[in-house]
Amino acid sequence: MTFRRITALLLLVAMSLTMLAACGTEAQSEDTTAPVTENTEAPADTTEAPAEDTTAENTDAVTEAPADTTEPTEVYNTITIAEALTLCEKYVETPSTERYYIRGIVKELQSEQYGQMIIEDSTGSIMVYGSYSADGTVRYSSLTEKPVVGDEVLFYGTLQNYKGNTKEIQSGWIIEFKANGYVPEAPKLPAFDTALTVAELLALPLSSNQITEGRYYVTAKIESVTNATYGAMVIADSTGSISVYNSKSADGKTDYQNMTDKPVKGDEVRLYCTVQNFNGTYEIKSAYIVEFKHNTVDESAYTSMSIADARNAAEGAKVKVEGVVAAITYATGMVPSGVILVDNTGSIYLYDGDLAATVAKGNKITVAAEKTWWVLDTEQANAQKFGYKGCNQLTAAWLISNDKGNHDFDKSWITESTVKTIVDTPVTEDVSSILYKVTALIKEVPGSGFTNYYIFDLDGETGTYSYSQCNGGDFEWLRAFDGKICTVYVMALNAKSTASDCFWRFLPVAVIDEGFDPASVNAAEFAVKYYAVPQFKSTTFSGDPALELLESASSDIIGFSGIKFTYTSSNTSVVSISNENGKNVLHCNSAGTAVVTVKAEHNGKTYTEDITFTVTSSESISAITVKDAIASAADTKVTVKGIVGPSLVNQSGFYLIDETGIIAVLCDASVFDGIKIGNEVVIEGVRTVKTKGGDAYFGQSHLAEGKVVANYYGTHNYADSFFVIDKTVADFYALDPKTDYSTTVFVLKAKVEFTGGGYSTSVNLVSGNSKISLYCSGSGQYSWLQAYDGQEVTLEVAACNWNSKDYWRGCVLAVRTADGKVLNELNFAH
């Protein structure tokens, strides 16, 4: 193998090795393993890698500034590094709340971006995980003046023994520093012919969390670059593979991300490195890239074509396309994960973190890649259920050429649409990763530790937030457009597939604030399309819905108010609209079809839209009782008639109730568009018991794959005469988990108790010394019950066991009050 020698290599390496060999601690890190099956979801945390110090911003904030540092002669109450190491021992779970003054010489600068470094005094050495200005507000990389290797520095910092094995200054504020001119002693370098194989590196005798004192040469091929910021990678030779924690230039001074030319996936590389046994897993801790050779792909195996043709290529086709990088996507830790590639025919997502790390927005590139459709492994069954083929994308890419330019992407082919049109597009249509031009309202909504950026249509409601794996950090550029109506180039990157629904997730690529003019919108048309038509969530009826219709619509965003709607039916014997107490009410009268025309007028403009209604025969459908459904054999399809009862919690469904019993029904979220609590319905579903097969519990009885065969509407009160009224919270707690109580409702008197905080809040029912928990994924699912927190009330509680526990938990159907029942309407408010 012929290598390209990096000049002045040995001299530069020699100048920095002694100090690096002394570094034996491990910094806490984000997951930087390569996502191999998922192009937008966070990958599994399988390895430690250098990472941004996020705790410094989120958990280390203090309200008191350090002592005034304007006088360099001020005396500080410093501690030695040995004393700091001793103090670290008691801060394993979280950093110290107190800060300490610690002075030392910078022996190694491990990250110029975050100021991660090793400092030393006469008593020992310690790592500084992240460095900041004296007031803790400015990160090391943004400091105008900052300490470097050899300087003496005074830190004011918190201490931590990270995971019990890394003692460190967790967040260091640089109070003062001065240049000392420290020059590390040049070590003796072994010759290249002393290089080891990967297998020999893996065989080095290292105890847990021990790092080699010396460095070794290894020559191998890069299988993937798992973090292009820090140069984390996986390398392999004929004897095995090993991960590289971070890598730098040959002299150890330039981070991988800042190297002008650097090795990438497929390249052969020679590293000069230390090796670490990190919690039982061997890895290259610190690597100097001594030399490398770029490898190329056999282009003859790939067919040149436009992006539009690549989108239509078969699964697995090898294609070569040219386009402009319109955007770069990021995975956890702001690690590049892929690019949006655009030519004059179309757009497509290219999922390849290695390639994304080597290009920039505006570059015109040529790539050889493989065409595929992607669905997250855990969502494949649900995607197939809804007919979603997956994200139309390219992967396994090789960069053929890059002009390093700064081009705007071609917009001539892009279709003008609306957010509503994209959201309403069935997932069976292959529109993923296609750019559209829309006029949209952008809203920034901060959360707890994250920020969502919403792309709304002009009604301010239709839309979704930009899909992010970086807690919104990858979309901070949208902040400049918060609250504005702009021209947005956006795509449905992929679809989230759940058991109950499959919906598009957005990726905004470019935003232009062109000064939105409300007068450019046809208000009459907008009112009909965004307000009148959506009220008809169903147009097929088997009974009379007695649907009260909207009288008018207003919009503060567009600037109109009181646009009136008129409704007319082409066949009043089938569908009629009557005025009842000043309200327009739609009635279904007999079987047949009818066209209802909705009309609106505004500023001399008229807009109408026709909606076809189908009313099916009101003849009785053969159905069994809920009791008979419960008694049916497992995996039997049944048709059951009953009343729609309260919502399930943490499941998409509701309780079906008649005079004989109650059973849970699981259904798609779309089912709730056509039903309400109190409707009389006929449900078709599969009699099922959800269980993992254990013998310590029964599981959960329910009807799976519930579908509404007929809806006779009405506002019926569900039967409750068979509810158990003579049991207590203690009795519920003692229920035998091996007996089926999942079709039983208990009327209990108990105190409602919300405990905990944030994401860990739980909801319990308490009586005396007894307590039962309510099944939910978060207390927000019981927000309607919050009004009764701390109060003793009477509740209707169904026993449930959706996740195979050896005890029963509760699902509250209703709270009984002197004025009636307050119902659980969770899924009906979707």
Model pLDDT for residues 261-291, shown as the tens digit of each residue: 889 888 999 999 999 999 999 999 999 999 9
Q: Which two tokens stand for residue 646?
A: 């309260």
Within 13 Å and on the Cβ side, how many CA atoms surround 336? 25
pLDDT per residue over 651-663, tens digit each? 999 999 999 999 9
Q: Between 618 and 684, whose confidence is greater? A: 684
pLDDT value of position 281: 94
Mean pLDDT of the chain: 87
CA distance 495 to 501: 10
**Helical (H) or strand (E) element with 679:** none
pLDDT average, residue stretch 788-800: 97
Give me the pLDDT at residue 74, please.
Answer: 63
Residues 6 or more apart whose CB falls under 8 angstroms from that of 689 comprise 634, 698, 699, 700, 701, 702, 740
Q: Give 18's pLDDT tier (boundaries 50, 70, 90).
A: very low
pLDDT tens for each residue of 135-194: 998 999 989 899 998 899 999 999 999 888 889 999 999 999 988 765 554 444 444 446
Q: What distance lies between CA 126 and its chain's CA centroid?
A: 35
CA distance 716 to 707: 20
The single-letter code of the amino acid at 179 is: A
Tens-digit pLDDT profile for residues 550-601: 999 999 999 999 999 999 999 999 999 999 998 999 999 999 999 999 999 9
Longest CA pairwise span in the chain (Å): 98
The pLDDT of residue 56 is 34
- The first and second tokens of residue 457, run together, are 């249509």
pLDDT value, residue 43:
31
Give the span between the Cα atoms of 822 and 816, in whole angstroms: 7
The DSSP element (H or E) to which 601 belongs, if any, is strand 592-602
Burial of 547 (0-12, 13-18, 19+ CB in 10 A): middle
Tokens representing 285? 């801790």
As a dihedral over the C-alpha atoms of residue 35, residue 41, residue 45, residue 50, rounded to 10 degrees, the angle is 70
Of 141-155, 337-351, 785-799, which range is least confident?
141-155
pLDDT of 500 strictly over 50: yes
